[in-house]
């Protein structure tokens, strides 16, 4: 069984057949909400809305540890994480679907590890390749089969939020090598690695990052939702294909 973490624009996976909700507790506190089990294109999956079902939890307030711990507890085969992002690289225009292969973490003050506290041995997990190559390949292949164009490989810069970035900050991110910018990619990916869960991200570009393209003067969040809805439909098609042939 695969897990899907839905981001902005995917609070509810309406393609899910016979959905069943289950509230679970964790030693790390409250997760973002109840888990929804159901069948997606014939395969059993579990869905979690990262920002809560009412979209009320801000990126820096998400209990990433509780969410990831729950999915480990369920022994999921892997996690497909959806994320809406701003496009920095010129070709990553709104409406583009991207499967990132690298991360730069600009977040701070988030609970970012399971390995802390008295009695826990100091542990440094390898994170050279932050995403699961096999799940990334699965997404790329699924997109091909579904006839959806995706960009394979990009650097995800994760900012703290909840405010959007300044144009100066985006320029700095670009000089650092970031191709897209979001607020929820970390510590989610690192926590999945700590618990040895396969994890890949399918990113939906919903706006030009600050200072770029039509966001030269400001980012219009109204337009953001329109692109998000349209592109999310395509993202779900890719996910349907990705979870096919899994137990």
84 part of the interface to ligand HPA, by CB under 6 A: yes
Among the listed residues 31, 78, 130, 182, the single contact to ligand HPA using CB under 6 A: 182
Q: Which residue lies nearest ligand HPA, judged by its C-beta?
A: 86
Q: Is 196 left (phi over 0), alpha (psi -120 to 50) or beta?
A: left
> Based on the number of CB atoms within 10 Å of its own CB, is 245 exposed (0-12), middle (13-18) or buried (19 or more)?
exposed
Q: Which is nearer to ligand HPA, 124 or 175 (CB)?
A: 175
10 contacts ligand HPA (rule: CB under 6 A)? no
Q: In this structure, are residues 69 and 28 in contact, taking their beta carbons and an 8 Å threshold?
A: yes
Q: Which of 9, 31, 86, 187 binds ligand HPA (CB under 6 A)?
A: 86
Cβ density class 161-172: b for 16+ within 10 Å, e for less: beebbeeebbbe
Site membership for ligand HPA, residue 79 (CB under 6 A): no
174 binds ligand HPA (CB under 6 A): no
By CB under 6 A, tell whether 165 contacts ligand HPA: yes
Which positions from 95 through 154 interact with ligand HPA, judged by CB under 6 A? none
Answer for which of 3, 151, 181, 190 binds ligand HPA (CB under 6 A) is 181
Cα–Cα dist 49/22, whole Å: 13
**What is the CB neighbour count within 10 angstroms for residue 74?**
15
Assign residue 144 a region (left: φ > 0; alpha: ψ between -120 and 50; beta: otherwise): alpha
Does 67 participate in binding ligand HPA (rule CB under 6 A)?
no
Residue ranges in contact with ligand HPA by CB under 6 A: 84-86, 159, 164-165, 181-183, 206-207, 209
């Amino acid at each position: 069984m695969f897990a899907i973490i839905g981001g902005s624009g995917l609070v509810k996976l309406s393609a899910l057949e016979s959905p069943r909700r289950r509230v679970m507790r964790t030693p790390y506190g409250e997760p973002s909400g109840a888990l929804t089990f159901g069948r997606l294109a014939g395969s059993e999956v579990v869905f979690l809305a990262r920002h809560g079902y009412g979209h009320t939890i801000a990126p820096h307030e998400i209990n990433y540890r509780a969410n990831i711990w729950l999915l480990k507890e369920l022994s999921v085969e892997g996690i497909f994480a959806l994320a809406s992002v701003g496009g920095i690289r010129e070709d990553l225009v709104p409406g583009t679907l991207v499967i990132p292969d690298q991360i730069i973490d600009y977040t701070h003050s988030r609970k970012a590890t399971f390995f802390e506290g008295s009695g826990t041995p100091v542990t440094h997990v390898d994170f050279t390749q932050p995403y699961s190559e096999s799940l990334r390949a699965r997404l790329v292949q699924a997109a091909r089969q579904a006839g959806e164009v995706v960009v394979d490989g990009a650097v995800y810069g994760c900012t703290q939020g909840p405010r959007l970035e300044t144009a100066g900050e985006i320029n700095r991110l670009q000089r650092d090598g970031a191709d897209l910018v979001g607020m929820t990619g970390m510590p989610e990916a690192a926590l999945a690695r700590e618990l040895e869960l396969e994890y890949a991200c399918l990113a939906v570009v919903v706006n030009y990052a600050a200072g770029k393209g039509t966001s030269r003067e400001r980012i219009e969040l109204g337009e953001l939702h329109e692109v998000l809805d349209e592109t999310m439909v395509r993202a779900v098609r890719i996910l349907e294909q990705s979870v096919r042939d899994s137990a």
